[in-house]
Chain A
Amino acid sequence: DQQVKQNSPSLSVQEGRISILNCDYTNSMFDYFLWYKKYPAEGPTFLISISSIKDKNEDGRFTVFLNKSAKHLSLHIVPSQPGDSAVYFCAASEHMDSNYQLIWGAGTKLIIKP
């Protein structure tokens, strides 16, 4: 059973508007969450993260929101740009995992329309 779920396989957004990517998790022991971005023929690249002691983290156009009670996090991109077209992966980890394992979602393909 998947512990990290990204229920939207794809999302299409107009350039300049807000993109909202969603991620749900089931393991209440997760306390650190990350978003990665992946272009075709490249490995994933780290985008932004959030610790469970926070409910929001912002970095430029990217903001991640965490709702612990709902076990839900979201990534907001505003304004969306053509270069944001990529697959976005949500990942989660437990602080006590000595192997620093990340549990991954299946990804959401974001398409920014000009």
Chain B
Amino acid sequence: ETGVTQTPRHLVMGMTNKKSLKCEQHLGHNAMYWYKQSAKKPLELMFVYNFKEQTENNSVPSRFSPECPNSSHLFLHLHTLQPEDSALYLCASSQGVGLGGVTYEQYFGPGTRLTVT
């Protein structure tokens, strides 16, 4: 039990579809992240939310649209994707700033394997 869940685990979508990825953390964390992992490449940070506010957008194309309605939930809305967007999309959370100071350890969900056809 990692405390971070992601749905769906697998998704196949056409280039004209609209779909959403969901992430939920049960750890009481304040920061949540979306990463993209392509084969044999480092994890690419896409978005960071800190206390529900988006604090980072690493030049991600607008066809990816994040949403963070509360500190436990994070969505990634997808529309008009390209085949090169096929990858593993990972959600993570971390404690962020707390009484003990900043902690950097991030806790990951299992990921959504996305295939764009």
Chain A residues in contact with chain B, CB under 8 A? Answer: 2, 4, 9, 32, 34, 41-46, 49, 89, 93, 95, 98-107
Q: Contact check: which of B41, B42, B45, B55 meets A98 at CB < 8 Å? A: B55
Please name the residue on chain B nearest to A95 by beta carbon. B102
Q: Are B40 and A100 in contact (CB under 8 A)?
A: no
B43 part of interface (Cβ distance < 8 Å): yes
Most central of A93, A98, A105 by chain B CB within 10 Å: A98
Q: Are A102 and B40 in contact (CB under 8 A)?
A: no
B50 part of interface (Cβ distance < 8 Å): yes
The SS class assigned to the B binding surface is: strand
Size bin of chain B's contact surface: 20 to 34
Q: Contact check: which of B4, B94, B104 meets A43 at CB < 8 Å? A: B4
Chain B residues in contact with chain A, CB under 8 A? Answer: 2, 4, 6, 31, 40-43, 45, 48, 50, 55-56, 90-92, 94, 96, 102-111
Q: Write out the residue numbers on chain B whose beta carbons fall within 8 Å of the beta carbon of A103.
A: 42
Q: Are A2 and B104 in contact (CB under 8 A)?
A: no
Q: Are B108 and A99 in contact (CB under 8 A)?
A: no
Q: Are A9 and B40 in contact (CB under 8 A)?
A: yes
Most central of A98, A102, A103, A104 by chain B CB within 10 Å: A102
